[in-house]
Structure 1
Amino acid sequence: MPAISIIVPIFNMEHLMRRCIDSLLAQTFTDYELLLIDDGSKDGSWSICQEYAHKDARIGIYHKENGGLSDARNYGLSKAIGKYTIFADPDDWVSPEGLDRLYATAEREQADMTMCDLYREDEYSRHYVCQRPQSLQAEDVLKELFANIQGFTVNKLIRRDVYTRFGISYPKGIYGCEDQYTMAAILLHDIKIAYEPVAFYHYVYNSASLTRHYDECTYEVDVHVLEMFRTLLEGNAVQPIAVRSKEDAVFARAFWNGRGYYSSTAFKQRFVSFRDRISSLNEMTVVKGCMAAACRGWYQPAIRMVFLLFRVKRLIKCVKSHIS
């Protein structure tokens, strides 16, 4: 039995997945299985999976009908045999060090979940993101999950039997917070948590995420997710914090992705009540100003201004990177 099962869900990633897989194979820690779950890709992803499976016996490949990210993760968990599990996304990559330290800490502390830091980056910059919780008690980490701790599973080594012990799986039919919901479900239980101060996972920011499709169905799914969190955390002291966080997420997704759907009047009608809470959002001051303007009936000019500012910012970062 391998010590760790690394699960990589893949869907139409032929142009990016090699960097991810190569970086995983370059890990200084070697006692793992690498499960590549092709979720019904229509490009050459499956051929690349087959190519790598012939190169390394630790690689297991699976081809399934498209079911979405959560379905692919659940499928990977059903095939995993490692003592611990961790996920990776095919458009990200990892540094050689990290898994060895995570595993050593998990074993030393006999932890159900071992957390670490990570990097956020784009093609021009990289930022170290500390994920050290103030407390290692599950109920305290649950509170921080809706504040300063990311819900990612890519920086958390989790004992595989945690999922089966508590009957937890990734929720289907939603987009964008599958990890956070699953982590909240796990943290509702009195698990042993450890932290290792190392960052090896590089979460690659994709500018295309600012132009994702948005329509009324998107809004309804976001509201459904809000209710899922409300139900999951019913009776728990963290529920009001989580509900407010997910309400903010509904608003933020509409602001960032809704410019092809909302008129200025329609945005104001739906989100005018958010005017008084924008100051508490984790956004740059200029973005908060544009959000406030949007809630007052100026959404279209406000969002155009934000995108213009981001293009200028990326241009400046590009120039700086070439100069350095």
Structure 2
Amino acid sequence: MQPSVSVIIPVYNIEKHLEKCLDSVIGQTLKDIEIIVVNDGSTDNSLDIITQYARKDSRIVIVDKPNEGLAYARKSGIEAAHGKYVQHLDGDDFLEPDACELLFKRAEETDADIVIMRFLIDSPRGQKEPPFWTQDEYNNISAIHTMAHEDYRWNLVFLFQRRDLHAVPIDYLQNLTYGEDAYQSIQIAYRSKKIVTLRDKPLYHYVIRESSVTQTGMTRKKTENVLLFPNLIETFLEGTPENRQFAEDIIYIRFRAYFLLLLKNWREGMTEHCRFMAESLAKYPALEQLEEVRRFTKLIRLYARCPWLGKLYTNYYVHKGKIKA
């Protein structure tokens, strides 16, 4: 008998946090689930913990593979899944007890391909709930437009989805370590006919560890990834029959990538990036309505007109702690 939901959990060296994640899934009020845990070449005791849980719960399926990164771990999980729907869950995050039940019910009642849920960010600084999608229903075009224009976390948008969206595998890039969620989310959104939201309450806990909070610097590899994923998304969207409808979305996505590099104080190529952002602000004034962007529009325009003054003001922003050193 086909499970209602396959919960896919990629795991890599998270022995300290894994049990809380697994407990939250085993304790789901919807019992008709399949739990696929993908051990992505962990070198700690993660695999031992998974094995112990699998001995106690026959719903747990272990996929043990060499380390290839998060995207390929999720891909392996989807290939092993049998559920009508899949629920993605990172191994150091956890679910509310009735998450799968509520999401499954919402999907079945609305015949939706994707259900977007509310979530909480749990960090050493406290717990907060980010802004949520404003409509009850979207199609593929409006969902992509919303993703590009609003300040939502792309890695937490399309976590509950119909498994047959993957009947034709989406494009995974093994070496894309930043922006892979955005690239995959765009592809999945485009394949969807109907996307709905579930507003009842937050169902997913996204956990940020102390080590993640303190890791603020940009490496060349990360920078290359930040610059690459807008190109990949642009290539994908321009290859669709509706490409003209996505022209503004592509600008917004590229703007966000360049803006991230500005906030991370990555100087290389910043003059050109700020010129692009300044032109985008002039063409699309709504960009200034994004909360973070509004605080830096003066710096962007200054950097675009006079790079040396832009660098000087950037140093001032770093000194004030508004930009990471």
* Contact 1:8 1:87 survives alignment (8 Å): yes
Moved more, 218-227 or 131-140: 131-140
**Shift, 1:24, TM fit:** 1.5
Q: Could you say which residue in structure 1 is the equivalent of 2:225?
A: 221
* Contact 1:86 1:154 survives alignment (8 Å): no
Q: 1:1-324 counterparts in 2 under 5 A? A: 1-123=2-124, 124-127=126-129, 129-133=131-135, 135-148=137-150, 149-152=152-155, 156-164=159-167, 166-189=168-191, 191-198=193-200, 199-206=202-209, 208-209=212-213, 211-212=215-216, 214-234=218-238, 236-258=243-265, 262=266, 266=268, 268-269=270-271, 271-273=273-275, 276=278, 277=281, 279-283=288-292, 296-298=310-312, 299-306=314-321
* Contact 1:290 1:303 survives alignment (8 Å): no
**Shift, 1:69, TM fit:** 0.7
* Contact 1:210 1:256 survives alignment (8 Å): no
Q: Using the alignment, how far apart are the partners of 1:98 and 1:257 within structure 2?
A: 35
**Shift, 1:256, TM fit:** 4.2
Q: Using the alignment, how far apart are the partners of 1:154 and 1:11 within structure 2?
A: 22
* Contact 2:10 2:40 survives alignment (8 Å): yes
Which residue type is aligned with residue 239 of structure 1?
A: F
The C-alpha deviation readout for 1:57-85, integer Å capped at 9, x for no partner, is 11111211110111101001111111110
Q: Using the alignment, how far apart are the partners of 2:216 and 2:43 within structure 1?
A: 20
The C-alpha deviation readout for 1:29-55, integer Å capped at 9, x for no partner, is 111011111111111111111111112
* Contact 2:28 2:97 survives alignment (8 Å): yes
Which residue type is aligned with residue 283 of structure 1?
A: E
Aligned residues between the structures? 304
* Contact 2:117 2:204 survives alignment (8 Å): no
* Contact 1:291 1:302 survives alignment (8 Å): no
Residues 169 and 75 of structure 1, relative CA distance in 2, 3 Å threshold = farther
**Shift, 1:305, TM fit:** 2.8
* TM-score normalised by length of structure 1: 0.81
**Shift, 1:187, TM fit:** 2.6
Q: Using the alignment, how far apart are the partners of 2:111 and 2:208 within structure 1?
A: 33
- 3-state SS of the aligned residue for 2:31? coil
- Structure 1 unaligned runs (5+)? 310-324
Q: Using the alignment, how far apart are the partners of 1:250 and 1:146 within structure 2?
A: 11
Residues 162 and 267 of structure 1, relative CA distance in 2, 3 Å threshold = closer
**Shift, 1:137, TM fit:** 2.1
* Contact 2:274 2:300 survives alignment (8 Å): no
Which residue type is aligned with residue 225 of structure 1?
A: F
* Contact 1:7 1:88 survives alignment (8 Å): yes
* Contact 2:136 2:196 survives alignment (8 Å): no
Q: RMSD of aligned C-alpha atoms?
A: 3.0
**Shift, 1:141, TM fit:** 1.4
Which residue type is aligned with residue 158 of structure 1?
A: Q
Q: Using the alignment, how far apart are the partners of 2:277 and 2:141 within structure 1?
A: 31
* TM-score normalised by length of structure 2: 0.81
Q: Using the alignment, how far apart are the partners of 2:189 and 2:277 within structure 1?
A: 32
**Shift, 1:27, TM fit:** 1.5
Residues 135 and 105 of structure 1, relative CA distance in 2, 3 Å threshold = closer
